[in-house]
Chains A and B, each alone.
Chain A
Amino acid sequence: MDGELSTALSLLAIGMITVFIVLLLVVITGNLLIRVVNRFFQNGNQLSTAKIAAISGAVEVFTEGRGKITKIEKN
């Protein structure tokens, strides 16, 4: 029993440290990715001006001038 309890205690220490380290790495990786993506893929979500003009035109015609674009999302 004593042996098992000490194994259980070591598992508590090892398990919690591992979970913390893994999530720390997830946080570090996430922050790193944010910087890399911000630097090299900044415009990934933005549509070209030609496409925005085409969408605006289509909305203008379809709603007979009453529609207003508030957000364009790329799927």
Chain B
Amino acid sequence: MRNKISMGTLARSGLLLLWSVILIIPLMLLLFGAVKSSSAFMMDPYSWPDKLVLTNFSDAWNQADLARALLNSVLVTGCSILSLAVLGSAGAYPLARRASKLSSILYIFFISGIMLPFQLAMIPLYKLMGGLHLTNTYFGAIMIYVASTLPFVIFLYTGFLKSVPRELEEAATIDGCGPIRTFVSIIFPLLKPVTATVVITNSLNIWNDFLVPLLFLQEKASRTIPMAIFTFVGQYNNNWSLIFASIAISSLPLILLFLLLQKYFIKGIAGGAVKG
């Protein structure tokens, strides 16, 4: 019996170790590339760095204009998730609360969007954005992210709102609270778990998205990080130290945030999926 258990433990540890190694190789390569001089990296990319060359970071920072790209990414991601939380929760509120045909029709109208791939809207959007002069603007990209993600967000909020008891808001109404104040000060705070899921899953998706910036944020002034790196690689495609430094800088904010808030991240991802 004891022998059997230790065999199981051995297999478990072996498999976990194997996957850990498969994960670490690209991550180490990224880190080593970022802190080695480009000649040292070319000579031997996978060995431990002899000395740290931190100028890669400053060079990449300046040459790829990462400060601007980071700011753009923060603005686009931040405004998108904020709008999603506000529009999504407010939009879902009557759909969950009013039992009428209109509610079900609107609900089905919204959530049928979950089935539609972004590619189905993409090409006409390109024309629409051009016509409205929204190409290369924050507002245009934010509207695209909000509109294409709203179906799922409305779905999450409506499902959760149905489980929130009505008594609280009824009491508030009796106390003379208007509908907007009731929503803002009583309902919205109760929706925290869904809001966390909405914020976490969408900040991941929007921060890392490449397709929307490739089409709608091409100019230097409005580029988000993936687009900035893509253009940078196009220009310096043989200087891998700089490329890896720029990738390291751009991936770090989310990884640090994740390490700080890992419990919420894991719950948020699982929450979005299980309810979906």
A, B bound: no
**B residues at A contact (CB < 8 Å):** none
Q: Which residues of chain A have a CB within 8 Å of any CB of chain B?
A: none
